[in-house]
Structure 1
Amino acid sequence: MKYISALSILLVALVTGCSGMTISGISLEKGNHHVVIGNTVLANQLEFSHSQAELRNGYLDASVEVMNKTDAAISLDYHFYWYDVNGLEINQPTTTWRTLTINSGQVLLLQALAPITAATQYRIAVRDANNCSIINR
């Protein structure tokens, strides 16, 4: 039975490709309880800091700084997920991944405004734009 479950998970991973699903290797990013990392190679290349969220006209405005710790530029995709007071994901209209390039040693701000006033929590998913590996914030 475990063998069939493992094969099912592998099949789902192969079929989803770059859909943003990461099956294994998930851990909490040290020092920041909001960051869940699914790709340790990419996670070791980035540093997240100054995570904050505040209300602006009733909408949650969330942001986090990300720094490239490598000697080369990294192309990233990122996407915000929003949750209500009960921790349930807020169903959003079709949202797209945003793409950016972060140069060696550069610090950039990832920021978004919640789509509705019911949002009280957020996560940011970050992936390598070249191979779709995920880091969830």
Structure 2
Amino acid sequence: MSRPKYRLTCCLCGKFIPLASDVYPLNAEWQRRFPRMKGTLACGCAVNTSWQCRGQGDRFMPGHIPARDYDGTPRPTSRDHDAWSHIGTPATHVAAVLISPWSGMLQGAQEYLRHVAQARSADPEVASDLRTVIEEWDIRQTWPTAAR
């Protein structure tokens, strides 16, 4: 079976992310500020969004979620100043959905991720992680509406 094609919908503006464009992963501070976001993968509209993390006295705004270094460690970064501090490393569409499969499922890559999870050529660890996400996704889709 050939690899399914997919189009990601931006979590912020709701438009399709152009296939020739990078995908920008957003962190929890974006979700706090934009609670209607669907997923965490954005188009270039994210880099055109502006806010400051600190107010008077150089203190973080109330409720601020610290930016993290994107090196896999949980420590806050010293570069936590504005919206750009909360955007991860730009990625291709494929890399973005493999790194953030839950967002990929929410934003339009369900068939593609299911395909990769079953592909013989897929890295076993990646495929296993995808199957776990897909299983959780399928369970949540069968829950009664009141339980969601």
Please give the TM-score of this superposition, normalised by the length of structure 1: 0.25
Greater C-alpha radius of gyration: 2
> As a proportion of its length, which structure holds more strand?
1
Please give the TM-score of this superposition, normalised by the length of structure 2: 0.24
